[in-house]
Amino acid sequence: MDAAEFRKRGKEMVDYVADYLEKIEKRQVFPDVEPGYLRPLIADCAPQDPESFEDVFKDIEKIIMPGVTHWHSPYFFAYFPSASSFPALLADMLCGGIGCVGFSWAASPACTELETVMLDWLGKMVNLPKEFLAEKDGQGGGVIQGSASEATLIALLAARTKIIRQVQSEKPELTEADIMGRLVAYASDQFCATLGTTSCCSFDKLLELGPICNKENIWMHIDAAYAGSAFICPEFRHLLNGVEFADSFNFNPHKWLLVNFDCSAMWVKKRSDLIGAFKLEPLYLQHHHQESGLVTDYRHWQIPLGRRFRSLKLWFVLRMYGVKGLQEHIRKHIRLSHQFEHLVLQDERFEICAEVVLGLVCFRLKGSNELNEALLKSINDAKKIHLVPCHLREKFVLRFAVCSRTVESTHIKFAWQHISQLATDLLKTWEHNHHQQ
C-alpha cells in the first residue's frame, strides 16, 4: 500500500469510525459470542501473498464486531469510563504518522518537551502544588505512563531504591536483600492512598495519612486513576486536599478526560527520585545535551524504553475542548449519576450502598447476595445495558458507572426502567421459588 492508496483507504476508515461511533447506540452493547468464536472464522496461519484492503475491511464487520463489547455505547455502564473523543482520535493519527520513539530528548525533542509542558497544564488544571510542576526550573514534573498500575509500580520501585540507598549509607554492612526483607508497604485492601476506588469510588483521608507519612519518612503515592479528572472542577478539588504531603500522584485522563487510552498522568515532587531508580545510559542513548541538566530523558521515568508521542492527545483535547468543555463533560456525568441515584432511592425495593460522590452509583436490591447476583445476571443476559458488580463488606453490589461521552438523561431513564422491570420479573419468580422451598 502506497501513500496514494492510504489517502483513499484512510478516508474510508475515517468514515467507518465516524459511522461506528455515530450509530453505536444501535449495536448490542455486549456481544453474543462464546469463548473460542473467532479462531474458526479465520485462517490457520498468515497468508503467503498479500490480500487486498477490501478483503480485510469486510472482515471487520464479519469477524471483529460480533465479538466487541461496545465501551462507548451510551448503554455501557460497566467498569469505569474509557475516554474517547474525536480530537484525541485525530491526535493519535498524527502520533502514528510521526511514529517517533521518544526515549530520550534527542530521539525527538518535541515528544519530550510537549509532554513536560502538557503535564504542567494538566497539573495546573487540578491545582497541584507547585512542587509537582516542572516549569522552567522546578525539581518536580510529570510524565505519561501507560496505566495507573505502571505508575504505582514506578512509585514503589523508586521508593524502594530511595530507602535502600539511605539505609545502606547508614549501615553499609547490610545487603540489599537484608534491607528488602524488612521494608514495609502500607496499603488498604484497595491499595495505596486512593482517591476514588474502583469498587465504590471511596476516598482515603489524605489529611490524616499525609502528615504521618511525612513524619515517618514514608513515600506517599496517591492513585486517583478515575476520580482525578473531576478535580478540574473547583467544586470537587477539595477531594484532593492533602496531596501536598505526597511524593507522587497519578490519575488517568484516559478514563474520564476524553483522552483515548493510554494516557496515565503521573507527577513527582522530585524527579531525581525516579531517575535515581531507573537510570540507564548505554552509549547509543547518550546525547550531548544530557549533561547540561536542561533536558528530560523520559526513559528514566518508566519501565519501557520506547514511548509514543502521547502528549499530542492531551494537546488536542485540552485545546479543542478547553477547560470549560471538559468541566461540562465531568459535570454532566456526575449529574447523570445523581439522576440514577434518585431513581433508585424512589424505589423502596432497592438501596444505595455507598455515597455517590462522582459518576458511580453502587446499589442493590434489599435482600440476599444470591438475589442480587440473579438480578445482575438477568440484566447482563438481556444485553440492553452492561454492568459489573463489586463486593462491599461481604455484600454483592451492582455498580452503575456513567461511562459514555454521549450518554444522556434518556439513557439513564431507560436503564433504570429496564433494571426496575427485570427486578419485578425476578422478584415474582424468586418469591414463588422461595415460597415453594
Residues 304-343 contacting a second copy, CB under 8 A: 304-306, 308, 312, 315-316, 318-325
Q: In this chain, which stretch among 16-24, 241-249, 347-355, 425-433 interacts with a second copy, using CB under 8 A?
A: 16-24
- Stretches 56-64, 205-213, 267-275, 336-344: which one binds a second copy (CB under 8 A)? 56-64
Q: Which residue bears the cell 517517533?
A: 100
Q: Is 173 among the residues that bind a second copy (CB under 8 A)?
A: no
Q: Site for a second copy (CB under 8 A): which residue of 113, 244, 347, 351?
A: 113
C-alpha torsion sign, points 230, 232, 236, 237:
positive
Q: With beta carbons less than 8 A apart as the criterion, state whether 250 and 145 touch.
A: yes
Near a second copy by CB under 8 A: residue from 27, 79, 163, 174: 79
Bridge pairing between strands 360-365 and 395-401: antiparallel
Q: Does residue 185 belong to the site contacting a second copy (CB under 8 A)? A: no
Nearer to a second copy, 125 or 210 (CB): 125
Q: Which cell numbers hold the place of 272? A: 531525581
Nearer to a second copy among residue 242 and residue 426 (C-beta): 426
Among 29, 85, 354, 375, binds a second copy (CB under 8 A): 85
What single-letter amino acid sits at 139?
Answer: Q
Q: Does 89 bind a second copy (CB under 8 A)?
A: yes
**Count of residues in contact with a second copy, rule CB under 8 A:** 133
Stretch in the footprint of a second copy (CB under 8 A) among 89-97, 210-218, 233-241, 424-432: 89-97
Q: What is the closest distance, in whole angstroms, from the C-beta atom of residue 212 to a second copy in the complex? A: 25
Of 243 and 296, the one with the shorter C-beta distance to a second copy is: 296
CB atoms within 10 A of CB 359: 29
User: Residues 126-145 vs a second copy: string with x where CB under 8 A?
Assistant: ----------x---------
245 or 321: CB nearest a second copy: 321
Shortest distance in whole angstroms from residue 296 CB to a second copy:
9
Residue 145 or 245: which CB sits closer to a second copy? 145
Closest separation between CB of residue 6 and a second copy, Å? 4
The distance of closest approach from Cβ of residue 181 to a second copy in the complex, given in angstroms and rounded to an integer, is: 3
Q: Give the one residue of 260, 269, 357, 385 binding a second copy; rule: CB under 8 A.
A: 260
Q: Are 290 and 282 in contact (CB under 8 A)?
A: no
Residue 215, CB-side half-sphere exposure with 13 Å CA sphere: 6
Q: How far is the CB of 288 from a second copy (least distance, A)?
A: 8
Burial label, 420 (beta-carbon count in 10 A; 0-12, 13-18, 19+): middle
Residues in region 336-395 near a second copy by CB under 8 A: 388-391
Query: What is the closest distance, in whole angstroms, from the C-beta atom of residue 134 to a second copy in the complex?
Result: 9
Binding mask 281-300 for a second copy (x = CB under 8 A): -xxxx---x--x-xx-----
CA dist list (Å): 418 to 57, 94, 292: 35, 41, 63
Among 27, 28, 98, 272, binds a second copy (CB under 8 A): 98
- Residue 72 interacting with a second copy (CB under 8 A): yes
Q: Which is nearer to a second copy, 348 or 394 (CB)?
A: 394
15's grid cell: 468514515
Residue 212 near a second copy by CB under 8 A: no
